C-alpha cells in the first residue's frame, strides 16, 4: 500500500509537471515567442501606444517579423517598446526603417508596423533604436470629424438659406424665362460675328503695318525711304517759301491798290486822266479804231502782194521753209 501511494504521488507530480509545461508552451505560442528559432531585441519610443500591449504582433512590409516583448515608461511623454524580432526577417531591416502603430483590419488588435526606408542603410543590430512615426489618435480623429460635421451642417444651412433666397428672387424668373435663352443665343451670334470682323480688321491692320515696315505703299515709302523723306522736306520748304512770297506779293498789291486809290481820290496823275477824262478816252478809242483799220488795210495789201507775180515766188519759199 505504501509503495502504491508513492507511485500515485510520483504520477501526480509528473502530470502536474507535464501540465505546467503544456500551459507554458501555450503561453509562449500565444505570445508568439519563438521556441526553437533565434531572435534579437530592438527598441522603439512612442508618445502614445493607443492600446498596444505586450505580445502584440510586429509586421515588416506585411510579413510577421516578431512580437512586442516589453513596454516601459521613460517619462510622461515617452514610452519605450522592446520588440522581439526573428533573425530571418531582421536581416532585412535597416536602421533607417520607421516603426508605426497600426491596427489589424478595421477594428482589430493593435500591431507595430515597420516600414522600410526608401534609401539604403546599415543593417539593424541588437538593441538599436528605430525612429517612430507619429500617428493620429482615434479620439482626435473623431473630434476632428465631429468639428467637420458641425462645419458642414453650418455650411449646409447657409447654402439652404441662399438657395431659398435665390429661388424667391427675380433672378429665377429671369432664368426660367424661355425668351432669355433665344435672346442670349442671338446676342452670342452677334458677338461671334463682331469678333470675326474684329479679327479680320486686325489681320488687315497687321498686313498694313507689315507692308509699311517693308516700305510698301506711299506710307511705307514716306516712313522708310530717306530720299522720299528728303524730297518731301524740300517740297515743304518750297511751299513755305512760296507762301512767304505770296504774302509779300499780297502786301505789295495792297500797297499798290492803296496808292492807286489815293491818286484817284486826289485827282492828279496820268492814271486819273486815263480813267476819268472822257475826251481823252474818246480820242484814245478813235486812235485804236484807226490803228485797227490801218492794220486791216495793211493785211489786205500784204495779201495782194502775195498774189502779185513779182513777189509770189518769195512767199512760196517762205511757206516751204516753215514746213
Q: Tell whether the model's pLDDT for residue 7 goes beyond 80.
A: no
Contact call for residues 116 and 86 (beta carbons, < 8 A): no
The candidate with the shortest Cα–Cα distance to 80, out of 60, 114, 116, 54, is 54
The pLDDT assigned to 250 comes to: 80
Contact call for residues 112 and 101 (beta carbons, < 8 A): yes
Q: Which of 21-30, 183-192, 259-268, 269-278 has the lowest mean pLDDT?
A: 269-278
**How far is the C-alpha of 28 from the C-alpha of 36, rounded, in Å?**
11
Domain chopping of the chain, boundaries: 1-30, 37-135, 138-176, 178-224, 277-307
The pLDDT assigned to 43 comes to: 92
Top-ranked range on mean pLDDT: pick from 40-44, 165-169, 191-195, 267-271: 40-44
Percent of the chain's residues with pLDDT above 70: 69
**Virtual CA dihedral for 31, 34, 35, 38, nearest 10 degrees?**
-150
**How far is the C-alpha of 64 from the C-alpha of 181, rounded, in Å?**
67
Q: Tell whether the model's pLDDT for residue 80 goes beyond 90.
A: yes
Rg (CA), the chain: 64
Phi, psi of 29 (to 5 degrees): -65, -40
Distance between start and end Cα atoms, the chain = 189
Top-ranked range on mean pLDDT: pick from 28-32, 33-37, 202-206, 309-313: 202-206
pTM: 0.38
The residue ranking higher by pLDDT, 78 or 244, is 78
Over residues 269-296, the mean pLDDT reads 68
**How far is the C-alpha of 165 from the C-alpha of 111, rounded, in Å?**
53
Contact call for residues 130 and 98 (beta carbons, < 8 A): yes
The pLDDT assigned to 81 comes to: 93
**How far is the C-alpha of 137 from the C-alpha of 108, rounded, in Å?**
15
The candidate with the shortest Cα–Cα distance to 48, out of 101, 98, 115, is 101
Phi, psi of 42 (to 5 degrees): -130, 165
Which SS3 state, helix, strand or coil, does residue 187 take?
helix
* Confidence band for 187, pLDDT divided at 50, 70 and 90: confident
Over residues 118-147, the mean pLDDT reads 80
The rounded Cα 236 to chain-centroid distance in angstroms is 49
Q: Tell whether the model's pLDDT for residue 132 goes beyond 70.
A: yes
Element (H, E) at 70: strand 63-73
Contact call for residues 65 and 87 (beta carbons, < 8 A): no
Angle at 156 between CA 150 and CA 157, to 5 degrees: 95
**How far is the C-alpha of 73 from the C-alpha of 189, rounded, in Å?**
77
Amino acid at each position: 500500500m505504501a509503495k502504491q501511494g508513492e507511485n500515485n504521488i510520483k504520477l501526480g507530480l509528473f502530470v502536474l509537471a507535464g501540465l505546467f509545461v503544456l500551459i507554458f508552451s501555450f503561453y509562449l505560442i500565444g505570445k508568439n515567442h519563438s521556441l526553437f528559432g533565434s531572435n534579437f531585441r530592438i527598441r522603439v519610443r512612442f508618445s502614445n501606444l493607443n492600446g498596444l500591449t505586450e505580445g502584440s504582433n510586429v509586421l515588416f512590409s506585411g510579413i510577421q517579423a516578431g512580437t512586442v516583448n516589453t513596454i516601459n515608461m521613460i517619462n510622461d511623454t515617452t514610452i519605450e517598446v522592446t520588440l522581439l524580432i526573428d533573425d530571418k526577417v531582421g536581416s532585412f531591416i535597416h536602421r533607417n526603417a520607421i516603426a508605426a502603430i497600426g491596427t489589424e483590419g478595421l477594428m482589430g488588435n493593435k500591431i507595430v508596423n515597420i516600414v522600410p526606408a526608401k534609401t539604403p542603410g546599415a543593417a539593424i543590430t541588437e538593441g538599436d533604436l528605430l525612429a517612430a512615426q507619429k500617428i493620429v489618435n482615434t479620439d482626435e480623429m473623431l473630434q476632428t470629424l465631429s468639428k467637420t460635421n458641425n462645419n458642414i451642417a453650418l455650411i449646409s444651412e447657409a447654402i439652404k438659406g441662399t438657395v431659398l433666397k435665390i429661388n424667391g428672387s427675380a433672378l429665377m424668373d429671369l432664368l426660367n424665362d424661355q425668351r432669355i435663352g433665344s435672346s442670349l443665343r442671338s446676342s452670342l451670334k452677334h458677338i461671334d460675328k463682331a469678333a470675326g470682323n474684329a479679327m479680320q480688321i486686325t489681320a488687315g491692320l497687321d498686313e498694313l503695318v507689315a507692308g509699311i515696315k517693308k516700305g510698301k505703299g506711299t506710307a511705307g515709302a514716306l516712313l522708310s525711304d530717306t530720299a522720299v523723306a528728303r524730297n518731301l522736306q524740300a517740297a515743304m520748304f518750297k511751299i513755305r517759301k512760296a507762301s512767304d512770297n505770296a504774302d509779300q506779293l499780297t502786301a505789295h498789291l495792297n500797297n499798290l491798290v492803296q496808292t492807286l486809290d489815293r491818286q484817284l481820290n486826289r485827282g492828279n496823275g496820268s492814271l486819273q486822266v486815263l480813267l476819268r477824262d472822257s475826251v481823252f478816252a474818246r480820242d484814245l478809242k478813235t486812235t485804236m479804231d484807226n490803228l485797227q483799220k490801218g492794220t486791216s488795210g495793211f493785211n489786205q495789201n500784204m495779201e495782194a502782194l502775195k498774189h502779185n507775180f513779182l513777189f509770189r515766188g518769195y512767199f512760196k519759199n517762205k511757206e516751204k521753209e516753215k514746213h
